Amino acid sequence: MRITEAVVQKTLDEEDIEGLREIGAPEDEYTHEAQKIVSRLSGSEPTEESLIAVVREVWVASFGPFSDEDIEKRSPVFSKVAHQILNNSR
């Protein structure tokens, strides 16, 4: 399975984890994060759990720091994003 930047970008845009697109952020708001996620997955066959961890790490690095409570609030969306990326990459 090959996870493409286009699939990751589309998923991040649709989920808009931080709500930035909703308030008028540029179309490319999550491009950097999509690139980082794909780069970290290069050469691997990710599981849903490993992809959740990558999404969380990239998100915290880009938009954090977050408290444990903030991470917990975002966790369901990180899971949903990972699930959608995997499903749309098959």
Could you tell me if 52 and 82 are in contact, meaning their C-beta atoms sit under 8 angstroms apart?
yes
| 65 prior amide bond cis, ω within 30 | yes
- Alpha-carbon span 9 to 6, nearest angstrom: 5
Residue 66 reports pLDDT greater than 90: yes
* Domain residue ranges of the chain, discontinuous segments joined by +: 5-88
- The pTM (predicted TM-score) of the whole model is 0.95
Distance CA 31, CA 81 (A): 15
Distance from chain centroid for Cα 61: 12
State pLDDT tens for residues 2-61.
899 999 999 999 999 999 999 999 999 999 999 999 999 988 899 999 999 999 999 999
